[in-house]
Amino acid sequence: MRDPGGCGIPPLTPTPVVPAALLGSALLRRPAALGAAAARCAPARESHGPPRQEHGSSRAASLHWTGERAVSVLLLGLLPAAYLCPGPAVDYSLAAALTLHGHWGLGQVITDYVHGDVPNKAANMGLYVLSALTFAGLCHFNYHDVGICKAVAMLWSL
Amino acid sequence: MAALALRGLGRRCLLARLGPGPTLHRVIPMGTTAREEMQRFWERNERSNRPLSPHVSIYRWSLPMAMSITHRGTGVALSLGVSLFSLAALLLPEQFPHYLAQVRALSLGPALVFSAKFALVLPFSYHTWNGIRHLAWDLGKGLRLAQVTQSGVLVLLLTLLSSAALAAL
């Protein structure tokens, strides 16, 4: 492809030189002065929304990552706690940490393998239902039954 | 990133071509955004129904690769197990000691009990030890390939030993 503007590097996509008169009103126009200014900075910026919005979503993702590690460490600490001081405090903490750790973990699995807007959304909604039921069931077990720590101890005494 | 640079370059070339002069009369067509171009690429790609190149079926398996998917597999299994237990707690009529007594009444041999406990604690133990390995990576430690293999072997060893020890309790 011939180099149109003498820049030395032929552009990948053909950039047509269109005199103003030939452009229909249907096409989006920008005065050349603005165009020069835009070309200096990132040209596609206006279509992505305000930059603060992008930073917001990446900050949320970063906080989520940190939250995942924090819950993992908490769950790790609850294991010796369950052995050394079993009781309702550890029982309910385990119920919460176990459910949240599992919910976030399965969420990552869905993100990796379920593609497409609709299937992804449906799978995540199903996950929310499952996690809610799981937490409810564990709390019910802790309240009305022997509790998680005691149950494991009893099971192991078989 | 490269696409953005090229587009900026293309626009600058276009401006140079248009030259200086009364800017009011000159306009530049807006073109497509990067997001639109990516979306068009994916639409065309999916519409053409191209076959997927073989990947996991032909790539040579390594220890870190196998341990990674096992970590995911044990995680999913443990999670579903917890959910199953939880749903049983909500739906079954009797309490936990009742069902435990029923299992005890089966008078299963000690070897079977040990095997059952071992099978139960193995995925839990693996996921826990490998999870610690993951947390070490998140701190930036042990990321060189030799270290990854060494820590992997250590995790497997600890898994077997701790599972056997816990099952014997």
Q: pLDDT digit string (tens) for B74-126? A: 999 999 999 999 999 999 999 999 999 999 999 999 999 999 999 999 999 99
Q: How far apart are CA A17 and CA A4, in angstroms?
A: 9
Q: Is residue B97 within 8 angstroms of chain A, CB to CB?
A: yes
- Number of other residues whose CB lies within 10 A of the CB of residue B96: 20
Could you list the beta-strand ranges (E) of chain A. 29-31
Could you list the beta-strand ranges (E) of B5-154. 27-29
Residue in this structure with the two tokens 């269109």, named with its chain if needed: A18
Per-residue pLDDT at A56 exceeds 90 = no
How far B134 CA lies from chain A's nearest CA (Å)? 10
How far B145 CA lies from chain A's nearest CA (Å)? 23
Per-residue pLDDT at A45 exceeds 90 = no
One-letter amino acid at B89 equals: A
Q: What is the pLDDT averaged over residues A100-129?
A: 95
Q: How far apart are CA A113 and CA A123, in angstroms?
A: 10
Per-residue pLDDT at B129 exceeds 90 = yes
Q: Which has more confidence, A21 or B61?
A: B61
Q: How far apart are CA A151 and CA A145, in angstroms?
A: 9
Q: How many residues are there in chain B?
A: 169
Q: How far apart are CA A114 and CA A102, in angstroms?
A: 17
Q: Which helix (H) or strand (E) holds B150?
A: helix B145-168
Per-residue pLDDT at A9 exceeds 80 = no
Chain B residue closest in CA terms to A27: B29
Q: Is residue B106 within 8 angstroms of chain A, CB to CB?
A: no
Token pair, residue B66, equals: 């196998």
- Distances B34 to A12, A56, A116, B11, B40 between C-alpha atoms, Å: 14, 20, 20, 14, 10
Token pair, residue A11, equals: 């552009």
Per-residue pLDDT at A34 exceeds 60 = no
Per-residue pLDDT at A32 exceeds 60 = no
How far B167 CA lies from chain A's nearest CA (Å)? 8
Q: How far apart are CA A102 and CA B80, in angstroms?
A: 9
Q: Is residue B41 within 8 angstroms of chain A, CB to CB?
A: no
Residue in this structure with the two tokens 């030259």, named with its chain if needed: B19
Q: How far apart are CA A11 and CA A5, in angstroms?
A: 10
Q: Give the number of C-alpha atoms closer than 13 A to the C-alpha of residue A4, restricted to the C-beta side.
A: 19
One-letter amino acid at A140 equals: H
A 25-64 residues inside an 8 A Cβ radius of B:
27-33, 35-36, 38-40, 42-44, 47-48
Distance, C-alpha A20 to centroid of its chain: 45
Cα–Cα nearest to A75, from A47, A103, A53, A50: A103
Q: pLDDT digit string (tens) for B18-57? A: 655 555 566 676 678 888 898 889 889 889 998 989 999 9
